[in-house]
Amino acid sequence: MSQYIKQQILFLSKQLGIDVFLDDKQQAILLIDGVHPISIRLVDGVWQFHAMICYASDVMDSNGIYKKILSVNISEQEYGGGGLCLDESANAILYILNPTCNDHAEDLYNKLNGFVNRVDAIREMVL
């Protein structure tokens, strides 16, 4: 990971007030509320975000109506590129967002800040 990207990640950490560390693949992991992780990486000039929203085993009913409602809600968001995924145990809701963003720190901050706000809104829906 280049020093320039590390500086951007440090900038994001300070601006958003969240913890940042690097995993074993040198990808940045941001922790919201010390619990909900967002990993970010720059691939071919595009920042990719991946966030786990919450565990959903207690809110999804047996026929999956809640999951369908949430999936529609996510797919209609203006950001685009979102999707509802489940882990192998089918009890984690994931929201994956791949916004296009240049590599200037302020623009990246604005994108991620909007993403974090959306994560918070989705998390409130499922809690």
Could you read off the pLDDT of 17-61 as tens digits, one per residue? 556 666 555 555 555 444 445 555 555 655 555 544 333 443 444
Q: Would you place residue 4 in the very low, low, confident or very high pLDDT band (cuts 50, 70, 90)?
A: low
- For residues 19 and 25, what is the distance between their CA atoms, to the nearest angstrom? 18
> 97 or 111: whose pLDDT is higher?
111
| 43 beta partners | 46
> 21 or 62: whose pLDDT is higher?
21
Say whether pLDDT at 79 is over 60. Answer: no
Token reading at 54 = 């919450």
By residue range, what is the domain housing residue 54?
3-126
How many domains would you assign to the chain? 1
Q: The CATH number of the domain where 84 resides is what? A: 3.30.1460.10
| Residues 48 and 98 sit within 8 Å (Cβ to Cβ) | yes
Q: E strands of 2-90, at which residues? A: 19-22, 28-32, 36-43, 46-55, 84-85
